[in-house]
A = this chain, B = another copy of it.
Amino acid sequence: MRVVSWMVHRQGEPMVRTEREEAAEAGEVVIRVAGCGVCHTDLGFFYEGVPTKHGFPLCLGHEISGRVVQAGAGAESWMGRDVVVPAVIPCGSCDACRAGHGSVCPSQIFPGNDVHGGFGSHVKVPARGLCAVPDLTDARLNPSGVDLASLSVVADAVSTPYQAIARSGLAASDLAVFVGAGGVGGFGVQIAAAVGARVVAIDVDPARLDAISRHGAELTLRADVLDAKELKAAVRELAKKHAVPTWRQKIFETSGTAAGQATAFSLLGHGGYLGVVGFTSERVEIRLSNLMAFDAKAEGNWGCLPELYPKALDLVLSGQVRVAPFIEKRPLDSINDTFGALRARRLTARPVLVPEG
């Protein structure tokens, strides 16, 4: 079938609307894109020279929702279904996958990196790992009334902190601290609140903090106003107030900055946990031995295993995690403007690009 993709030809040069033929082969599906979120990872590929696995020309975009409109052999059961496409699709059958290490599957498919992604009318992906979306017109299945395009952010911005939080073992009445309350961190705050944790959000942007204070953050702290000691004191004070010991305090670095990493690391106490969710290529100077002295742990998180997506999706459908206030739908043909605006920090919400028609 004839599909449209916005192709990157050279780093930083305007993406070009391109038509091409696409056909689902065995085990694959072609999805008509409902929405595709723009992630900072895309900016890294496009502006900063972070190399993509598949060379240019390449269509970016890994935060995809849509409807299956063509199915290859063995994938017929997906035909006509609404789906969220995991940002990282492990092969499911190699040694790493079978040992539960699907996140590091060497044959994983990352749309918009390994193959053409979701900034287009359609995308072709393996059917394995697709997350089925129920009938969104049924209010019992979709009490929040979210639409399919908005569910695109479940593919990464919601599911990635979901996995990081699940790995941390965060439980009700624990304390969760998010250093960085942007896309990933903001949804992280909501997920942690849904778990029943008390949540602190730290950011340099007062507007972000204001928004997230209405969606689960009990305490918001400005990293541009308070220094590391003051941030730590404020977190400790809240923990003391609610009698949460350090080993029930889970810190999540979701800013993807060296400053944020230093802050997050400094918040670790005895038996503490640090989830490294954001990415920066910068280095940071830390006293790594604190992990030993505190019997603490720092764990990175790459994507989210497909088997966790249904639970992450349920949080959104049920309204426990609100998507609408944190995204802005924009037409796909605004892609070059949208990338520029996101890079220039002119957007407060996460842009979701919606194909025309």
Among A260-287, those with CB < 8 Å from B are 261, 265, 270-271, 276-287
Q: In the assembly, what is the distance between CA of A270 and CA of B105, in Å?
A: 9
In the complex, which residue of chain B has the Cβ closest to the Cβ of A289? B279
Complex contact A104–B247 (CB within 8 A): yes
Oligomer: number of copies = 2
Q: In the assembly, what is the distance between CA of A164 and CA of B224, in Å?
A: 38
Complex contact B245–A295 (CB within 8 A): no
Q: In the assembly, what is the distance between CA of A318 and CA of B28, in Å?
A: 55
Asked if A302 CB lies within 8 Å of chain B CBs, one says yes
Number of interface residues of A (CB under 8 A): 44
In the complex, which residue of chain B has the Cβ closest to the Cβ of A271? B104
Asked if A299 CB lies within 8 Å of chain B CBs, one says yes
User: Which of A245, A271, A283, A288 has the most chain B CB atoms closer than 10 A to its own CB?
Assistant: A288
Complex contact A103–B278 (CB within 8 A): no
Complex contact A96–B247 (CB within 8 A): yes
**Per-residue 0/1 for A86-120: is the Cβ within 8 Å of any B Cβ (1 yes, 0 no)?**
00000000011001010110100000000000000
Asked if A296 CB lies within 8 Å of chain B CBs, one says yes
Q: Could you say which of B246, B276, B280 contacts A104, with CB atoms under 8 Å apart?
A: B246
Q: In the assembly, what is the distance between CA of A258 and CA of B95, in Å?
A: 34
Binding site for B on A (CB under 8 A): 95-96, 99, 101, 103-104, 106, 245-247, 253, 256, 261, 265, 270-271, 276-303
* Min C-beta distance of A169 to chain B, whole Å: 10
Q: Could you say which of B104, B276, B282, B290 contacts A291, with CB atoms under 8 Å apart?
A: B276
* Min C-beta distance of A86 to chain B, whole Å: 14
Complex contact B300–A299 (CB within 8 A): no
Complex contact B281–A245 (CB within 8 A): no
Q: Could you say which of B246, B281, B288 contacts A265, with CB atoms under 8 Å apart?
A: B288
Q: In the assembly, what is the distance between CA of A245 and CA of B107, in Å?
A: 13
Q: Could you say which of B265, B284, B289, B297 contacts A285, with CB atoms under 8 Å apart?
A: B284
Complex contact B282–A287 (CB within 8 A): yes
